[in-house]
Structure 1
Amino acid sequence: MARRGRCTLPADAETPAALDGSTSSCAWGSDPDALVPGVYGPSHQPKLSRTDYVANSNNGPQYTNPEAPLTGLPGVYDIDPRLDQRPQLGLRMIAQRRDGTDGLGAPGFTEDTLRASMLGNRVLSAETGRYDVVDMCRAHPSLTATDGKKVDVWQACTTLAGWDTRADTTSRGAALWITFYAHLLDEGPPDTWRRVPYDPAQPLTTPRGINGDDVRVQRALASAVQDFAARDLPVDTELGAVQKWAGIPLPGCDVGCFDVVEAGPDSGTGTPPAGAFGTSFLMAVELTADGPRAHTLLTYGESANPASPHYADQTRLFSRKQWVTERFTQAEIAGDPALKVTTLHS
């Protein structure tokens, strides 16, 4: 830490962060057990072995398991211990599956409940903030948008109040929430409009909520309603009508979903295809006495050629929350109805 402070140059608009390269004392170090010079060796790398679970959702290693936080790591591994919404939701999903409070049955993971959890399409930003927004718009059914115009948000308020906070393809309210949240992020950093700011003593549950008294929150909802009107879309439009790949409705979102997806109504079409990003390859495996049980899903298909039958075949499965069943034993392989056997002779 002392070396980082000594060797980090002052940031400016053009160079947010830089290291002093004018002195050899700031050159890359090397651990005695480093596999190659200039990197940390295994002794300094984060590691954790558990018999209950370990988890990571594109976050630092500190809360790989919150019951055994990893501390004292080199800063390069854990510069910011705060958890974004996706890792917070992932840890919440694990905790609720372990105690059986997620509605998926008896406590504990099986391969079936693992798959159901993955594609449950929960939206943490809505689970912790939707009621704040609904209370706000019920109190203020007419709000001022970014352009200064008054907007009637009553129907939008009704839509959000009736939404189940899921980002399923048939969810009515998810598309509106995604648009609202995008405007809200444009209004300023989340810590400035959260109802409960980040608290290092509560890293798994903060920040949370949305401050409905903040004019920026009110402005964001009004602007979202304007967006729907400009596209001639009802505010309760199903998510799958505006989020697609090759015309196939997509679940998920990028505003607090575990199943991350960002796409438009024309993604995967045209020349070149309009882009999308998010969930790609999924695999759920359970090791049993009779061998592994596994299901996989390649959400964007096995071919980049739009003319191929495999361009979006698994996208259709993803849209319907269906999976590809993997086969490991000879009997399972022989029982595959699509099995083809080719014999090669030398």
Structure 2
Amino acid sequence: ADRLTAVLDHHPRRQLGPVPGRSGWQQQAQRLGQRARFALDRLGSLQQAGKVSAENLQAMVMDNEVYQAGQVLPDLLKFCASELGDDVARLTPLCAALKAWDGRADLNSGIGFVYFQRIMTSMQGVASRWRVVFDPQNPIHTPSGLAIENPQVASALRAAMLAAVDEVAKAGLSPESKWGDIQVSSLSGKPIPIHGGPAGLGVYNAMQTIAGKDGKREVVSGTSYLQVVTFDEQGPRAQGLLAFSESSNPQSAHSRDQAEAFSKKQWSELPFTEQQIKADPAYQVQVISEEGSR
């Protein structure tokens, strides 16, 4: 982080503690973002299990877990199972979608993810929403839990759910809609389904979108270049992906190739040795010189 106070939280599990007053820094509690919490939690689990492999890291980037879902989805479902009163008919489809959702922002993830996004966006303004508030001594796992037992939070949640129902209906999305039908990249003409989601929800494969046509979300920024490197007796082995392709010209053969590979989670082997480089069928040598140069 680039803030002076972040020096206090150089590592969530090994905090430096109070900084002397003469340093001019005030000790302030620094909340970790959902994405950082996901990364630390996932890496901690992998390290406990043994060595971290390239496949582990690829899955970490591309399994598209929505980390915040693990913190609040049980409470959302518990609220759904309570007495919904006059709103039961309107909220039943939403609750069914949340229950069926796989907790991910993957291409095949259901409409429950869209409802989840809308609900959590609305709940951001509710200061008392957390059951377990932020603890600077446990920054990875706090805050967490929706305090649905709090009447103010329950009322705000009901309103957020009803608003989500209206927004999804207005967008023209159906109960069968998948995330891959909604989040797309259309820069090359024909829409390409793109997995990933908002970093604020703890999706490591972060994507930023704007509203498009027919309820779709157009990707405008986010994950760009991915590379995983391992080392063995034969040297480095690298795999990579360029998520947004190489050309912005829709007529180019390279306007869709990498974006489609990203959509399909198809990593490419990257050559390193001279032998590997020359083995590329497209390999060629081009000598460039300046006329009159010495």
The 2-side partners of 1:263 and 1:319 are apart by: 16
2:228 is the alignment partner of 1:288:
no
- 1:128 is displaced (CA, Å) by 0.9
- 1:76 is displaced (CA, Å) by 7.8
C-alpha spacing 1:141/1:118, structure 2 compared with 1 (3 Å): same
- Structure 1 SS opposite 2:229: strand
Check whether the contact 1:129–1:210 (CA below 8 A) recurs between aligned residues.
yes
**Of Structure 1 and Structure 2, which has the larger fraction of its residues in helix?**
2
Query: For the aligned residues, what is the CA RMSD?
Result: 3.0
- Structure 2 SS opposite 1:251: coil
Compare relative contact order (CA 8 Å, sep 6+) and give the higher one, 1 or 2. Answer: 2
- 1:319 is displaced (CA, Å) by 1.2
1:1-346 paired onto structure 2 within 5 Å: 60=6, 62-71=8-17, 72=19, 80-100=29-49, 107-141=50-84, 152-172=90-110, 173-185=112-124, 188-189=125-126, 191-213=127-149, 214=153, 215-246=155-186, 247-254=191-198, 255-264=201-210, 266=212, 276-337=220-281, 339-344=282-287
Provide the identity percentage: 27
For residues 114-172 of structure 1, the C-alpha deviation after alignment (integer angstroms, 9 at most, x for no partner) is 1111111111111111110011012144576xxxxx86111211111122211101101
The 1-side partners of 2:52 and 2:40 are apart by: 14
For residues 200-250 of structure 1, the C-alpha deviation after alignment (integer angstroms, 9 at most, x for no partner) is 222110001122342111211111111111222124521111111111111
The 1-side partners of 2:260 and 2:40 are apart by: 28
Deviates more, 1:319-328 or 1:227-236: 227-236
Check whether the contact 2:60–2:204 (CA below 8 A) recurs between aligned residues.
no
How many residues align structurally?
271
The 1-side partners of 2:16 and 2:227 are apart by: 27
**Unaligned residue ranges in structure 2 (runs of 5+):** 290-294
Deviates more, 1:130-139 or 1:234-243: 234-243
Q: TM-score, normalised by structure 1?
A: 0.69
Q: TM-score, normalised by structure 2?
A: 0.81
Deviates more, 1:122-131 or 1:302-311: 302-311
C-alpha spacing 1:131/1:345, structure 2 compared with 1 (3 Å): closer
C-alpha spacing 1:62/1:283, structure 2 compared with 1 (3 Å): farther
The 2-side partners of 1:293 and 1:230 are apart by: 48
- 1:85 is displaced (CA, Å) by 0.7
The 1-side partners of 2:95 and 2:108 are apart by: 18
- Partner letter of residue 147 of structure 2? N
